Amino acid sequence: MLWGIPPGLLLILGVLLVPLLPGAWRKAYMTILPLAGLWALAGAETGVFYTFTFFTYEIAPVRIDGLSLVFGYIFHIAAILSVVFAWHNNDTVEQMAGLAYAGSGIGAVFAGDLITLFIYWEAMATTSVFLIWARRSDSAFRAGMRYLIIQVGSGVLLLSGAILMAHQTGSVAFDKMTLGNLATWLILIAFGIKCAFPFFHNWLPDAYPEASVTGTVFLSAFTTKCAVYVLARGFPGTELLIYVGAAMAAFPLFYAAIENDLRRVLAYSLNNQLGFMVVGVGVGSALAINGVAAHAFAHILYKSLLFMAMGAVLYRVGTVKASELGGLHKSMPLTTIFCIIGAASISTPLFAGFIAKSLTLSAAAKDGYPVIWLILMFASAGVFLVSGVKIVYFAFFANDGGKRCKEAPLNMQIAMGLTAILCVVIGVYSPWLYSLLPNDVAYEPYTLSHVINQLQTLIFSALAFALLIRFKFYPPAVNSIYLDFDITYRKWLPVLYKWIVSLVSPGWKSMLQDLRNGLHRMVAYMFRHHGPEGILARTWPTGSMALWVALLLGGFLLIYYS
């Protein structure tokens, strides 16, 4: 911890100086902040720090252990790479939002209690939405509003669960939980929304493709991986998550295969990869949790690289529609190479994804889930096809769309180059990543059977793609709208609301009219008696009043003495 500042808070507080610095100094400062945080974290001791009591509850703002450290390392690395990728961007609001968002994600993974987690949880939501709005388009604004409502709703559920847990147990400590009461279910749903569980996932392909060129790179790294971390911290070994994760791994692939917007393809494939991690959390063994952490680490790198490549294409060409691209390898050769490395890093031997994903696959097989293992193998082949081969082919090698442009700006090339190097180094030398994992690792990814098995899967996936393209069976790249579960709240629920309103409207109007008539009659009655001409508003002579008082007094005495 640098100067006694908790991890993450350094970036959040550092944001205050960003608008005060001129161009080059600002970029250097924004790069140094996460570098300094990473350097401080590398020398940090494990333990719980800065604890204090708040309304009889023990608050632990910082908890450093093996699990939080590996996520802390990759979050700092992702922040550095994202800042470098955004050096060309002079939007002060977006720069501040990006750093604060990264700091909030870092703070969340070191939170030792549910209250601290909730504060960073909501800070992530409110800061990240500005990365979507930074695109400054009507569609981005609407997507950002939907994103914000869903993310803040997740925070409300988390807070509700924390309050119930505090009432039931007298503690807000963020440790392993067991499903069995309303509090833990609310917390699990809150985590699931941010992790894009099935039916909660639409915010991901809805919002990420609408963000700015640089904003999407930030977004791809933090929100969903923070959700994976809290699941691994709070619900390891929860068997329900195995089946939820399997559905996540398989279902989004079908949308990614037919989607035309390549950044939306990447968003669906991101959802797919989250499924692998959720399965690992559900299995819950030491090997599986190592697989979750390793996969999250590697996935942040190669998914960021792919989003960087598509961001560079969008920045230079103005579109990432597959139907409008092709032949860009002639204009953007370096971006093409970096994109190929990102695609290969998904699951190809000698690249980052291979050594990470294999841990989860092995854990599922060893713990007796052969059907889940088969689903994950199918999902592994499918994501290579739709997120690897499809992205590279349609953006850079498909029918030449005739678009010619400059290569990506130098800062984008530097960021993509550094990320690509990390993807290769981690894949070639697996012990480096394995040494960072929370549990001891005794695993060798490069066994002959495993390498051959994976290469066969990838080769047949690529062959299947080639044959589908050759014989025109692959879904064509065309501008279209594909219906997902969000149609329920974007179309069906509004239609249902209008239908109910039209159904009850006549009776409602009749009831309101009766109320109005009754109110008018009451006002008229009151006016008759209390108005300027009413009997109770008249001025009575003093003599008449004295007479009435005497009569009332006499009547009272007569009754009293009778």
pLDDT digits (tens, 9 = 90+) for 273-300: 999 999 999 999 999 999 999 999 999 9
Q: In the chain, what's the furthest Cα-to-Cα distance?
A: 119
- Angstrom CA distances, 102 to 272, 314, 467, stand at 23, 23, 42
pLDDT of 398 reads 81
Sign of CA dihedral 124, 130, 132, 138: positive
Specify the 3-state DSSP secondary structure of 52. strand
- Mark whether 148 and 38 lie in a shared domain: yes
DSSP lists the bridge partners of residue 47 as 64
Return d(Cα 454, Cα 445) in angstroms, integer: 11
- Name every residue whose Cβ is closer than 8 Å to that of residue 259 and which is 6 or more positions away in sequence: 205, 265, 268, 482
Q: Is residue 15 part of a domain?
A: yes
pLDDT at 537 over 80: no
- Judge if 321 and 436 occupy the same domain: yes
Single residue among 427, 450, 480 that ends a domain in this structure? 480
208/119 same-domain check:
yes
Whether residue 273 sits in one domain with residue 405: yes
3-class secondary structure, 58: strand
Q: Do 504 and 545 lie in a common domain?
A: yes
How many CB atoms within 10 Å of residue 375? 20
Could you read off the pLDDT of 478-513 as tens digits, one per residue? 676 666 777 777 777 777 878 887 777 778 778 888
Q: Are residues 256 and 353 in the same domain?
A: yes
Cα end-to-end distance, the chain, whole Å: 94
> Which tens digit of pLDDT belongs to each residue from 300-327?
999 999 999 999 999 999 899 988 888 8
Which of 181, 210, 235 represents a domain boundary (last residue)? Answer: 235
| Residue 224 domain flag | yes
- Give the C-alpha separation, 346 to 354, whole Å: 7
Element (H, E) at 47: strand 47-49
Q: Is the dihedral of CA 503, 505, 506, 510 positive or negative?
A: positive
Query: Which of 480, 507, 522 is at the close of a domain?
Result: 480
Would residue 496 count as lying in a domain? yes
Residues 198 and 265 in one domain: no
- Is 485 inside a domain boundary? no
Q: Is the pLDDT of residue 540 over 60?
A: no
d(CA 374, CA 365): 9
pTM: 0.87
Considering the domain architecture, whether residues 140 and 250 belong to the same structural domain is answered as no
71, two tokens: 């996520």
| Number of domains comprising the chain | 3
How far from 23 is each of 20, 127, 482, CA to CA, in Å? 10, 22, 42
CA geometry: angle 388, 224, 218, nearest 5 deg: 75
331 and 254 inside one domain: yes
Query: Are 288 and 363 within 8 A, CB to CB?
Result: yes
Domain range for residue 524?
Answer: 490-561
**Could you tell me which residues come within 8 angstroms of residue 7 by beta carbon, excluding any fewer than 6 positions away?**
1, 37, 40, 41, 44, 62, 64, 72, 106, 107, 110
Is residue 441 domain-shared with residue 404, that is, in the same domain? Answer: yes
Higher-pLDDT residue of 424 and 557 is 424
